[in-house]
Amino acid sequence: MLLWVGLGNPEPGMARNRHNIGFMAVDAIASRHGFAPWRPRFKGLCTEGRIGLDKVMLLKPMTYMNLSGESVQAAAGFFKIEPARITAFHDELDLAPGKVRVKLGGGNAGHNGLRSMDRHLGTAHYWRVRLGIGHPGDKALVTNHVLGDFDKFDKEWLAPLLDAVADSAGLLADQKPEDFMTRIARLRGAEEQKNGV
């Protein structure tokens, strides 16, 4: 089994925050691949389904971002899932809006959700799908940027990005991160061309 974790905050008023793009990504995957309804478990909401031949559990920790690792550890411990079979979907300030990068391990770059996962898993060797939200340009503006809602113009890239992530999820499940990133870029490029962007 693979464990894919969307990072975000559970408050309904935060649902459209840039910080919640991880929740949005796993919601899109669950919808596209016909997963079971979300249900409370492991201090979060989870659902299970199949992507290709792979059984995947999707998890949205309801612990708030700073304690995400508690929920991830509970699910991973119950199913005895190794860190290398865990993937975190999260917002990334250091990537342009709509860009996606996948990496195994590495630092948390100050991301509280990743920091909590590192603390509870005892290792940084899990996968990260970094979803670009852009940097506001001034460190003093970062908190408001991250905890602010996506703007109207963000809809031009956000919905196509989430669609592309969901469409390409099979490549991620098959452990083909380069192909996953390439396909997302191609799908987004085709969408931009269609819309004359």
Q: Which residues are catalytic?
A: 19
Strand partners of residue 4: 58, 87
Structure tokens at 60: 């949205």
DSSP string spanning 60-111?
Answer: EESS-GGGHHHHHHHHHHHHT--GGGEEEEEEETTS-TT-EEEEES---TT-
State whether residue 45 is helix, strand or coil: strand
Q: For residue 88, what are the contacts with CB-CB under 8 A and spacing of at least 6?
A: 5, 7, 22, 72, 113, 114, 117, 126, 127, 128, 129
Structure tokens at 30: 């669950």
Q: How far apart, in whole angstroms, are the C-alpha atoms of residue 73 and residue 3?
A: 11
Within a 13 Å sphere around the CA of 6, how many CA atoms are in the beta-carbon half?
31
